Amino acid sequence: MHESILAYRKRRYLWIALGVSLLAIVAYLFDDPQEPSNGGTVLGYTLGTTGVLLILWLTWFGVRKRRYSSTRGTVQGWLSAHVYLGVALLVVVVLHAGFQFGMNVHTVAFALMVLVIASGLWGVFIYMRYPERASANRDGSSRPELMDQLEDLDRRAQRVAGELSEEFQELVESGVSRTQLGSTLWTRLRGRDLSQIILRQGGKTTVMANPGQEAALDWLANEQSRAVDADSLAKIGELSALIRNKRQLLRQIAEDLRLQATMEIWLYFHVPLTAAMLMALIAHIVTVFLYW
Amino acid sequence: MKYLIRFISRNPAGGVEYRDKVVDAPTITIGRATDQVLQLRDLRARLQHAVIEQKPDGVHVSSSALTGIIVNGRSQRASKLAVGDIIEVGANVIKVIDAPDGIDFAISFELSDDASTEHFVTRWSEPVSDVGGWSKRRLSWTLVAVVALLGFVLPIYTYDMFLQAGPIHSAHSTTAAECDLCHLNAFERVPDSACEACHTVDRHVVHSTAAVLGEIRCASCHLEHNEPEQLVNQHQGLCGDCHANTPPDAALDSAADFLDDHPEFNAAGQAEDSNLKFDHAAHLAEQGIVTPAGRRVIECNECHIQEPGGAGFETIRMDVHCSDCHTLSFDPDDTTRTVPHGDPETVVQSLIEYYSARLLGEDPDAVEQRVRRPGQRLSRADRDRAAAEARVEALAIAEDLFERRACTNCHTVTRVDGDVPWHVEPVELTTHFFSNAFFTHAAHQTEISACGDCHEARTSASATDVLVPGIENCRDCHGSGFARRNAPGQTPSTCVMCHSFHFESKGPRE
């Protein structure tokens, strides 16, 4: 049975994270330093050290998840803890700062940390919903299987076209070789269909955009209306049906690419922002002691 | 309905092997899923790809999959089947064969070598590992460089205010633009010498307390870069840590918390010994007091006028605040004549001058009636006698003023030997009852406070009463330095709200 990372081991890490947060809040409420609460009091240093250790441990997840041979906990458990303790970090750091924020490098470090946590929560949201949507969209097939089905349709279209004139063969060949969906994250996110096709019209050969196989289907519909014998009429009809099916399959694949890109894009924020936050954290710590 | 499925396999030698399987089911399901009657191992097949079923007019095959099926070389969605028909699903070939006895419908199935095709891979089906040519790693290092440059390196050389942990206190705003005025050495705490560059601290933190407190720096108590800005340690523990639970024989009583552990004020219960006689109760009578202008009610602030700073009050002056009623007249025939408010010699002298003038005839209204011939001047003997009479008269009036009527109303007058036989004790009012504490009236003038709320002047008939209230009066509003110990509405009041830290110049009240 599939278990969500949020529900891992009866939400064990949710309770640990709540415990850490509550401990920090209670300590903050009962702390009565001889100065306004800030990172320089005894509790401030304690919470700051806790925060740094948490950040280092959270960052270590990027290493742990690649250590396939490691037996120190499961990756699922690590991810569950990563999510919950990542949110608890927000509480610890806000109390470390004693709610003091300003236009300075220290608040920059804090803001970057908030962005990292926010992008992480975005990732959690994506991973709670998108894998399900992706499998619903693929309807039981994997991506390579969808590609195989596409190839199957292409082969059959080529077989039918082989029994028709050269123009049909050119149409199908160029349609097959120039089928293209998004190849970058952005085009995939937008579900773009970049397919093209070579059409021969009135003795002129033109390369045309063929999103959703529309250009091919239009051309075939035109040819169908001009066909005279029943045999070619039936074959053109079969070819149209195959290409309509291909259109639908391409939409399915484009949606699959879009969903997968959505599942990937948040990491392009989460990881680089983490690196930036680590640099700002170093600047924060060095600055504090440089100007002790 | 009984179906026969004949599985055909070819051995390496080229021989053909058959394996028959009879299925008693309403339909033959064909697909990749494990629950299918005929399971295909071809990735191009859907989990449920096609169905063979009996219909009224015969056996049909149908498919809802996008790639559909090929029946006898034609792509189709559905088709009626007859013996000899060939169904293709991907690379799988299913043939309809003659049904043996007892079987309703039969097919043969041969797993094609072509079934496990290589996935044909196009560039657009591969995973993407960058955004616009930027990998996560490259993005990360770029952001690290940007943060390091803009957040740290650049501020150090240009705008180092960007590195401060909180705003500088407004009192230090003139030095705010230069961090190194206080932060003399990198990675070292701010030394006292940085403070002493501007501040004289020799009266602050006397050596005896320094010995108790140990190694402390100015910045141990005076912390910068905080919000709310606060340069003076306001904490209860600043004083309370040492001044709590002092031994019974200690010079100072225990004072750990204003709410319930603070001695009564020294002034309370004492007597004021100012040599002045004054009856607040009589002056503040509710029905008013008789004045030359008639009966009227006097308000506190007619005499007690606040200093511009708001801390205390201006000195009360006889000529400004008292003389409207308390005239120093002495001559019943001329009530506008008054003696000056000053020392006894001046008073007596002015009286002698007044009566001399009258007796010697220089005052036309007060000439002594004496028979003289025209042109005759007073003889020397007459003048001496007149002067002596004036002196006697003046002293008689003065005695009346000093001992019975005017001066003694307010002052303590004693008889002494000498030409002017009176001495007025100088007025010595206590100006500050709290010598070791601050108090400002201005901060206590609120909409809900009146003089009488703290000072019981309306019932005080004697100037020896100390009208400074006791500590309980303060506790009506001021509570503990620990906010959580206070009732709602009580002002948290730590020691430094009234006291300052160990100033050498401030000893105990003498």
**A153-189 pLDDT per residue, tens:** 988 898 898 888 888 888 898 888 788 888 788 888 8
Q: Does A237 share its domain with A283? A: no
Q: Does A162 share its domain with A235? A: yes
Q: Which helix (H) or strand (E) holds B210?
A: helix B207-213
- Given a cut of 90, whether residue A118 has pLDDT beyond it is yes
In whole angstroms, what is the distance from residue B306 CA to residue B319 CA?
A: 18
In whole angstroms, what is the distance from residue B295 CA to residue B287 CA?
A: 8
Distance between first and last Cα of chain B? 121
Look at residues B71, B76, B84, B95 and name the one whose alpha carbon lies nearest to residue B7: B95
Whether B482 and chain A come into contact, CB under 8 Å, resolves to yes
Whether B362 and chain A come into contact, CB under 8 Å, resolves to no
Residues 6+ apart with CB under 8 A from A64: A70, A72, A75, A78
Q: How far is C-alpha B337 from the geometric centre of its chain's CA atoms?
A: 61
User: Are A181 and B128 within 8 A, CB to CB?
Assistant: no
- The long-range contacts involving A227-231, CB below 8 angstroms and separated by at least 24 positions, are none
Which among B128, B152, B189 is the nearest to A264, CB-wise?
Answer: B128
Which among B90, B124, B131 is the nearest to A268, CB-wise?
Answer: B131
Whether B213 and chain A come into contact, CB under 8 Å, resolves to no
Residue corresponding to tokens 């095709």: B117
In whole angstroms, what is the distance from residue B278 CA to residue B276 CA?
A: 6
State the DSSP code for B298. Answer: P
Q: Does A191 share its domain with A111? A: no
- Structural domains of chain B, with CATH: 2-122 (2.60.200.20), 164-221 (no CATH)
Q: Does A26 share its domain with A99? A: yes
Strand pairing category for B422-424 and B2-10? unpaired
Whether B157 and chain A come into contact, CB under 8 Å, resolves to no
Which residue on chain B is closest to A183 by alpha carbon? B124
Residues 6+ apart with CB under 8 A from B260: B480
User: Are B151 and B158 within 8 A, CB to CB?
Assistant: no
Q: Does A121 share its domain with A159? A: no
Strand pairing category for B105-110 and B92-97? antiparallel
Helix axes A267-290, A105-138, angle to 10 degrees: 160
Q: Does A216 share its domain with A106? A: no
Please answer yes or no on whether A283 and B124 come within 8 Å at the CB atom: no
The pLDDT value recorded for residue B362 is 56
- Angle (CA) A187 A188 A191, round 5°: 90
Q: Does A119 share its domain with A179? A: no
State the DSSP code for B172. Answer: G
The pLDDT value recorded for residue B176 is 61
**Separation in Å, CA B168 to CA A227, B164, B222, B228:** 87, 8, 12, 11
**Amino acid, single-letter form, for residue B13:** A
Please answer yes or no on whether A183 and B67 come within 8 Å at the CB atom: no
Q: Does A173 share its domain with A74? A: no
Please answer yes or no on whether A183 and B128 come within 8 Å at the CB atom: yes
Q: Does A13 share its domain with A63? A: yes
Mutate one of A138, A279, A286, A288 to test the B interface: name it (highest B CB count within 10 A): A279
Residues 415-454 of B with CB under 8 A from A: none
Whether B119 and chain A come into contact, CB under 8 Å, resolves to yes
Which among A108, A184, A253 is the nearest to B151, CB-wise?
Answer: A108
If you average pLDDT over every residue of chain A, what do you get? 90
Which residue on chain A is closest to B46 by alpha carbon? A141
Which among B119, B233, B482 is the nearest to A35, CB-wise?
Answer: B233
**Separation in Å, CA A236 to CA A223, A224, B327, B494:** 8, 6, 131, 95
Which residue on chain A is closest to B181 by alpha carbon? A291
In whole angstroms, what is the distance from residue A205 CA to residue A217 CA?
A: 17
Q: Does A234 share its domain with A193? A: yes
Q: Does A32 share its domain with A130? A: yes
Q: Per residue, what are the HEC states of chain A?
A: CCCCHHHHHHHHHHHHHHHHHHHHHHHHHHCCCCCCCCCCCHHHHHHHHHHHHHHHHHHHHHHHCCCCCCCCCCHHHHHHHHHHHHHHHHHHHHHHCCCCCCCCHHHHHHHHHHHHHHHHHHHHHHHHHHHHHHHHHHCCCCHHHHHHHHHHHHHHHHHHHHCCCHHHHHHHHHHHHCCCECCCHHHHHCCCECCEEEEEECCEEEEEECHHHHHHHHHHHHHHHHCCCHHHHHHHHHHHHHHHHHHHHHHHHHHHHHHHHHHHHCHHHHHHHHHHHHHHHHHHHHHHHHCC
Please answer yes or no on whether B179 and A291 come within 8 Å at the CB atom: yes
Phi, psi of A277 (to 5 degrees): -65, -40
CB atoms within 10 A of CB A68: 6
Look at residues A20, A22, A264, A292 and name the one whose alpha carbon lies nearest to residue A130: A264
Q: How near does any CA of chain B get to the CA of A38, in Å?
A: 8
Mutate one of B147, B164, B181, B496 to test the A interface: name it (highest A CB count within 10 A): B147
3-state SS assignment for residue B182: coil
Please answer yes or no on whether B162 and A104 come within 8 Å at the CB atom: yes
Residues 174-193 of B with CB under 8 A from A: 179, 183, 186-190
- Count of structural domains, chain A: 2
User: Are A228 and A237 within 8 A, CB to CB?
Assistant: no
Q: How near does any CA of chain A get to the CA of B152, in Å?
A: 6
Strand pairing category for B105-110 and B2-10? parallel
Please report residues of B whose CB lies closer than 8 A to that of A149: 44, 46, 65-67
Mutate one of B29, B32, B64, B66 to test the A interface: name it (highest A CB count within 10 A): B66
3-state SS assignment for residue B7: strand
Question: What is the full per-residue pLDDT of chain B (510 aa) written as tens digits?
Answer: 888 888 887 776 777 878 788 888 888 888 877 778 887 777 778 888 899 999 999 899 998 887 788 888 888 888 999 999 999 887 788 999 998 888 889 999 876 655 443 334 455 666 677 777 788 899 999 999 999 999 888 888 887 788 888 888 888 887 666 888 889 898 999 988 888 888 887 666 655 555 566 677 888 888 888 888 888 888 888 888 888 878 888 778 888 889 888 988 888 778 888 999 999 999 999 998 988 888 989 989 899 998 888 778 899 999 899 988 888 988 888 888 899 998 899 999 999 998 888 877 654 444 455 555 666 666 788 778 888 888 998 999 999 999 988 899 899 999 999 888 999 999 998 888 887 788 888 888 877 778 888 899 999 999 999 998 889 989 988 999 888 888 888 888 988 888 887 765 444 333
How much is the pTM?
A: 0.72
**Separation in Å, CA A135 to CA A253, A260, B34, B39:** 11, 11, 18, 21
Residues 5-64 of A with CB under 8 A from B: 32-36, 38-40
State the DSSP code for B364. Answer: G
Range in A139-143, A216-220, B504-508 with the lowest mean pLDDT: B504-508
Residue count of chain A: 292
Please report residues of B whose CB lies closer than 8 A to that of A276: 140, 143-144, 146-147
Q: Does A31 share its domain with A80? A: yes
3-state SS assignment for residue B355: helix
Q: How near does any CA of chain A get to the CA of B289, in Å?
A: 54
Lookup: tokens for B486: 């206070």
Look at residues A279, A27, A188, A30 and name the one whose alpha carbon lies nearest to residue B152: A279
Please answer yes or no on whether B75 and A241 come within 8 Å at the CB atom: yes
The pLDDT value recorded for residue B510 is 32
Q: How far is C-alpha A153 from the geometric centre of its chain's CA atoms?
A: 29
User: Are B359 and B368 within 8 A, CB to CB?
Assistant: yes
Which among A194, A249, A291 is the nearest to B183, CB-wise?
Answer: A291
- Who wins on pLDDT, A288 or B358? A288
Whether A240 and chain B come into contact, CB under 8 Å, resolves to no
Summarize pLDDT for A245-276 with one digit per residue, the tens: 999 999 999 999 999 889 989 999 999 999 99
Instruction: Characterize A7-41 residue by residue with b for buried, 16 or more Cβ atoms within 10 angstroms of its Cβ, and e for exposed.
Output: ebeeeebbeebeebbeebeeebeebebebbbbbbb
Summarize pLDDT for A53-111 with one digit per residue, the tens: 999 999 999 888 888 888 888 888 899 999 999 999 999 999 999 999 999 999 999 99
User: Are B316 and B338 within 8 A, CB to CB?
Assistant: no
Q: Domain containing A152: what range?
A: 143-259
The pLDDT value recorded for residue B332 is 83
In whole angstroms, what is the distance from residue B46 CA to residue B61 CA?
A: 15
Which among A149, A152, A279 is the nearest to B148, CB-wise?
Answer: A279
Strand pairing category for B334-338 and B329-331? antiparallel
Give the count of Cβ contacts less than 8 A between chain A and B: 187
Look at residues A153, A134, A89, A149 and name the one whose alpha carbon lies nearest to residue A115: A89
Mutate one of A26, A63, A104 to test the B interface: name it (highest B CB count within 10 A): A104
